[in-house]
Amino acid sequence: MAEELEHVKCLIIGSGPAGYTAAIYAARADLKPVMITGMQMGGQLTSTTDVENFPGYPGGVMGPEMMEDFRKQAERFGTDIRFGYVSSVDFSGPVHKVVVDENKTILADTVIVSTGASAKWLGLPSEEKYNGFGVSACAVCDGFFFKNQEVVIVGAGDTAAEEATYLAKLCTKVTMLVRRDEFRASKAMVHRVLNTPNIEILYNTETKEIIGNGQTVTAVKVYNNLTKEEQEIPATGFFVAIGHKPNTDIFKDWLKMDEVGYIITHPDSTATDIEGVFVCGDAQDKIYRQAVTAAGTGCMAALEAERYLAAKEYQE
């Protein structure tokens, strides 16, 4: 006899601020949510040290500790949190099929996708070594810690330009490394960077190594890919702004996405074109990418899932 498949009202794919907030709201609405955490339980914030811009933590909080608080709150209301990853989905029927760890199929009336995005890194061992200790992929999150200091930022697109001008308000000097001989950013953003006096742009320049004292960043070794000359730039912070990749590959056959892979939702909503599938957090947000905005969309997704199920029940 075939094994009976588990059937749940609400399945949340991915943890982090969006997933945990969706879980808190869904559990309080008695949707008995099941969460599949993904391999990085707690998401990007678990690799962040100090979080000082999330409301309710006046003294700041460590990223992993904050995610632990979120998890406990979701569990307190009855969320069934399971460590694992979703290997494939089938959204073709009225009930959604989700395969976990390549061997267990769960049927779900509603699915909330909160798989987040991952920052793209240069791939240097020294970058990994000092990640969280001077190396960051989010100027808005971490720029404050480098007030009145000298920093380096790498990138040539709109995000890099925006983050460089943001850092320039806080730091005494921002050195911007652009790999080619021009920006990829829009004219308006380039104009803003060029008109900020404490930003120095080094074109045709790549990062060779991040230098530190074992605890924090002290300088960045760069080389010019035209002249092949190397130089060391004194800096206490190194920001990587070469883009993010949303963790959405498993949904590409089912959900509408932009060219990068961010899932497209209906305006003013977390709903997708597939009935009963909602997306929150960085899997759909390429603009703000903050913990607090992710949490807000997690709340929206759970409320929308609840309304969807209530309407469905009423029709039946």
pLDDT digits (tens, 9 = 90+) for 221-231: 999 999 999 99
Find the catalytic residue in 10, 69, 80, 142: 142
**95/229 same-domain check:** no
Q: Is the pLDDT of residue 52 over 90?
A: no
1 within some domain: no
**61/96 same-domain check:** yes
Q: Is the pLDDT of residue 315 over 80?
A: no
Instruction: Give the relative orientation of helices 63-76 and 16-28 as an angle to the nearest 10 degrees.
Output: 20
**125/193 same-domain check:** yes
Q: Is the pLDDT of residue 20 over 50?
A: yes
How far apart are the C-alpha atoms of 246 and 31, rounded to whole Å? 27
Residue-level pLDDT at 3 = 59
Find the catalytic residue in 141, 171, 280, 285: 141
What's the whole-number mean pLDDT along residues 270-296? 96
Residue-level pLDDT at 140 = 86
pLDDT tens figures, 184-221: 999 999 999 999 999 999 999 999 999 999 999 999 99
How many domains would you assign to the chain?
A: 2
Which of 240, 274, 294 represents a domain boundary (last residue)?
Answer: 240
Single-letter code of the amino acid located at 114: S
Contact 114, 19 (CB under 8 A): yes
Residue-level pLDDT at 15 = 94
Contact 208, 222 (CB under 8 A): yes
What's the whole-number mean pLDDT along residues 249-271? 97
**146/62 same-domain check:** no
pLDDT tens figures, 58-82: 999 998 999 999 999 999 999 999 9
Which of 186, 205, 240 represents a domain boundary (last residue)?
Answer: 240
**11/109 same-domain check:** yes
**268/232 same-domain check:** no
**221/199 same-domain check:** yes
Q: Is the pLDDT of residue 313 over 90?
A: no
Find the catalytic residue in 10, 138, 171, 280: 138
Percent of the chain with pLDDT over 90: 87
Q: Domain range for residue 236?
A: 121-240
**194/275 same-domain check:** no
pLDDT tens figures, 96-141: 999 999 999 999 999 999 999 998 999 999 999 999 999 999 998 8
**86/149 same-domain check:** no
159 within some domain: yes
pLDDT tens figures, 132-176: 999 999 998 899 999 999 999 999 998 899 999 999 999 999 999
Contact 274, 261 (CB under 8 A): no
- pLDDT category of residue 1 using cuts at 50, 70 and 90: very low
- pLDDT category of residue 50 using cuts at 50, 70 and 90: confident
Contacts 24+ apart (CB under 8 A), 225-232: 225/179
Q: Which residue has the higher pLDDT, 28 or 53?
A: 28
Residue-level pLDDT at 316 = 62
Q: Residue 10 catalytic?
A: no
CATH no. for residue 231? 3.50.50.60
